[in-house]
């Protein structure tokens, strides 16, 4: 995997003042994916907005990890339904 689409986990945590252990717990709950390349852990650049949203929900609304896992599933369902709705609308429009 090319590292240009990845962000170092350590750099992300330092920049956002987040403990590495919290990110690993998010990974254990299946909320985010972590990729290991040459003994270094990385996050996908495309998933940073999702990760930042989960961090805000945890910090500001005090939602626990189980709740974040449920929210992730609901957000994925919403995205899928939006895609299905868009496809249905495209079929109806000339």
Task: For the full predicted model, state whether its pTM sits above 0.85.
Answer: no
- Structural domains of the chain, count: 1
The answer to whether 43 and 6 are in contact (CB under 8 A) is yes
Burial of 57-73, coded b for 16+ CB within 10 Å and e otherwise, reads: bbeeeebebeebbebbe
- pLDDT by residue for the chain (94 residues), tens only, comes to 566 799 999 999 999 999 999 999 999 999 999 999 989 999 999 999 999 999 999 999 999 999 999 999 999 999 999 999 999 999 988 6
Give residue 1's pLDDT.
53
* CATH for 51: 1.10.1660.10
User: What is the domain extent for residue 41?
Assistant: 3-92
CA distance 71 to 84: 20
**48: exposed, middle or buried (Cβ count in 10 Å: 0-12, 13-18, 19+):** middle
């Amino acid at each position: 995997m090319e590292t240009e689409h990845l962000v170092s986990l350590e750099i992300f945590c330092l920049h956002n003042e987040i403990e590495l252990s919290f990110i690993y717990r998010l990974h254990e709950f299946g909320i985010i994916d972590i990729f290991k390349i040459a003994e270094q852990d990385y996050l996908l650049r495309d998933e940073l907005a999702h990760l930042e949203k989960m961090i805000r929900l945890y910090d500001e609304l005090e939602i626990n990890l189980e709740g974040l896992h449920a929210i992730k599933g609901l957000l994925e369902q919403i995205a899928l339904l939006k895609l299905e709705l868009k496809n249905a609308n495209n079929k109806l429009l000339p």
